Amino acid sequence: MTVTHLNPGPRMSEAVRIGDIVFLAGQIPQDMSAGIEAQTEQVLAGIDRVMAALGGTRADVASVQVWLSDMADFPGMNAVWDKWVDPKTPPARATCGVALARPGMRVEMIAVAKLPG
């Protein structure tokens, strides 16, 4: 089975594909000064972008881990998530409160997907 790396860098790849399974690196917001809603929109747009680059869509996402720097942001993140997710094909999901790597970062998500065909 072939292993393919999307946009590999010195530390990590944006995604790694093994057969038709893809592992996305943590998707983070671009604007660390934005509120949870805007940061969540940015992160979900990152998932959409990576999935499109791999020939998939959000409907192909099987699992998402959501990391919040403050669990008080859970309702705001969910409000944006609920607009993004297809209720007919929602991925499995877990949400945890963690210390994130960059100041101002309120949310990070990692995803695993099965690509079509």
Instruction: Say which CATH number the domain at 70 has.
Output: 3.30.1330.40
Exposed/middle/buried for residue 115 (C-beta within 10 Å: 0-12, 13-18, 19+): middle
Place of tokens 């998500």: 109
> What is the span of the domain harbouring residue 105?
3-114
Per-residue pLDDT 10s for the chain (117 aa) are: 789 999 999 999 999 999 999 999 999 999 999 999 999 999 999 999 999 999 999 999 999 999 999 999 999 999 999 999 999 999 999 999 999 999 999 999 999 999 987
Count of the separate structural domains present in the chain: 1
pTM: 0.95
Q: Where are the alpha helices (DSSP H) in 1-117?
A: 36-53, 74-84
pLDDT at residue 76 in the model: 98
